[in-house]
């Protein structure tokens, strides 16, 4: 199992740092990386597809310029999604043959200017996954010292069990927030607790700031009533909700805003009272907790 305390409790998601979002310059990325480290955020989450397969290289360029000690940060990346528009594919699809997994990892290593990845994830499950092929690639990458931990993203417990017939899976990164609580009920977090897997959450604020519907209005009303009590803003209380789950969530926070990153880090200090947590859950579900 992974050494969980080597990863920062709040993880910096880099998806919007490049062409899919803020289009940060190299200098701006360096500043943001150093800001994260100053806060205590030392783990950076990537995927090969981010920025149409360009983010890793942009981040790597900034990493070299920053002079940051590699031992002081943790790098996570993912592979497997083949975008139609970026690689002249006939169709968007997933690819998990051994040769491709190894090629993807090595490509990320080159772009990120690092000798190893702390955590390497299969990005989304494919109906055509073969555990033998996956295991062959992961065992090769580990024996060569190119990856330390291996995990998955968006996998169900049964899909993980299939992969684990050949190779251990130490992490599952899934969508989880107050507006998307399914992992608490579909066995995902039960599996992580039972097997000692690291659980990471992407989109940890959910649709709260994107949607305008009855659920969002119920949650907003409840959160507004708790802000003074905890001395926290809306984002911090949304994070506090998911951080309270006993699985020990590591939220992947996708903002590149320095203040929001600082506020997110402080959210880990908030300990919601039991009944306040259930009041938020009730607001999300729109009915009394059974």
pLDDT, tens only, 15-71: 999 999 999 999 999 999 999 999 999 999 999 999 999 999 999 999 999 999 999
Q: Provide the pLDDT for residue 218.
A: 97
Gap between the terminal Cα atoms of the chain:
35
Q: What Å distances lie between residue 7 and 2, 60, 121, 251, CA to CA?
A: 9, 19, 15, 11
Predicted confidence (pLDDT) at residue 86 exceeds the cutoff of 90: no
95's enclosing H/E stretch is: none
**pLDDT number for residue 223:** 98
The one catalytic residue in 7, 50, 208, 230 is 50
Residue 119 has phi, psi (to 5 degrees) of: -145, 130
Q: Give the pLDDT score at 3.
A: 55
pLDDT band (50, 70, 90) for residue 4? low
Query: In this structure, is residue 164 part of a structural domain?
Result: yes
Q: What is the mean pLDDT of the chain?
A: 96
Residue in 248, 242, 259 with CA at minimum distance from that of residue 206: 242
Overall residue count recorded for the chain in this entry: 290
CB-count burial class (<10 Å; 0-12, 13-18, 19+) for 275: exposed
* Residue 280 domain flag: no
Total structural domains within the chain = 1
| Count of alpha carbons within 13 angstroms of residue 220, beta-carbon side | 11
Q: Which residues of 84-121 are buried (b: 16+ CB within 10 A; e: fewer)?
A: eeeeeeeeeebbbebebbbebbebbbebbbbebbbbbb
- Do the domain assignments include residue 120? yes
pLDDT digits 0-9 by tens, 146-184: 999 999 999 999 999 999 999 999 999 999 999 999 999
Amino acid 289: pLDDT: 86
User: Which of the four pLDDT bands, split at 50, 70 and 90, describes residue 290?
Assistant: confident
Domain, as residue range, for 191: 4-211+238-270
HSE-up of 115 (CA within 13 Å, CB side)?
A: 5
- Whether 198 maps to a domain, the answer reads yes
In a domain, 11, yes or no: yes
Work out the angle at residue 158's Cα, subtended by the Cα atoms of residues 169 and 150, and round it to the nearest 5 degrees: 15
Distance between CA atoms of 190 and 198, rounded to whole angstroms? 12
- The Cα–Cα gap between 27 and 32 comes to 9
Q: What is the mean pLDDT of residues 127-155?
A: 98
Domain-located, residue 56: yes
Give the residue with greater pLDDT, 104 vs 211. 104
What pLDDT, in 10s, does the model give residues 191-240?
999 999 999 999 999 999 998 999 999 999 999 999 999 999 999 999 99
Residue 50 annotated in active site: yes
Is a pLDDT exceeding 90 seen at residue 1?
Answer: no
- Rounded to an integer, the average pLDDT of 2-26 is 90
Indicate the pLDDT class of residue 87, thresholds 50, 70 and 90: confident
Each residue of 240-268: pLDDT tens digit? Answer: 999 999 999 999 999 999 999 999 999 99
Task: Flag whether 226 is in a domain.
Answer: no
Is the pLDDT reported for residue 189 higher than 70?
Answer: yes
CATH assignment at residue 35: 3.20.20.100
Q: Which of 108, 100, 55 is nearest to 82 (CA)?
A: 100
């Amino acid at each position: 199992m992974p050494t969980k305390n080597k990863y920062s409790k709040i993880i910096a998601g880099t998806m919007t740092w490049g062409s899919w979002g803020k289009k940060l310059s190299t200098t701006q990325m360096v500043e943001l990386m150093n800001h994260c480290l100053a806060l205590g955020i030392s783990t950076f989450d990537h995927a090969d597809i981010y920025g149409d397969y360009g983010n890793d290289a942009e981040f790597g360029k900034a990493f070299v310029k920053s002079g940051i000690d590699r031992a002081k940060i943790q790098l996570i990346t993912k592979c497997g999604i083949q975008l139609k528009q970026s690689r002249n594919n006939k169709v968007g699809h997933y690819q998990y043959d051994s040769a491709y997994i190894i090629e993807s990892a090595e490509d990320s290593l080159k772009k990120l200017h690092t000798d190893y990845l702390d955590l390497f994830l299969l990005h989304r499950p494919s109906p055509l996954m073969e555990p033998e092929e996956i295991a062959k690639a992961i065992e090769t990458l580990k024996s060569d010292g190119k990856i330390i931990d291996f995990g998955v993203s968006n996998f169900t417990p049964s899909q993980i069990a299939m992969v684990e017939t050949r190779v251990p899976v130490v992490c599952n990164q899934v969508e989880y927030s107050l507006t998307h609580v399914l992992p608490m009920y579909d066995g995902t977090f039960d599996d992580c607790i039972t097997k000692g897997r690291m659980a990471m959450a992407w989109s940890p604020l959910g649709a709260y700031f994107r949607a305008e519907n009855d659920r969002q209005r119920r949650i907003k009303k409840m959160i507004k009533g708790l802000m003074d009590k905890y001395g926290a803003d809306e984002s911090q209380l949304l994070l506090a909700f998911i951080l309270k789950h006993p699985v020990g969530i590591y939220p992947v926070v996708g903002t590149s805003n320095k203040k929001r990153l600082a506020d997110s880090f402080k959210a880990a200090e908030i300990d919601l009272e039991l009944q306040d947590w259930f009041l938020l859950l009730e607001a999300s579900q729109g009915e009394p907790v059974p």
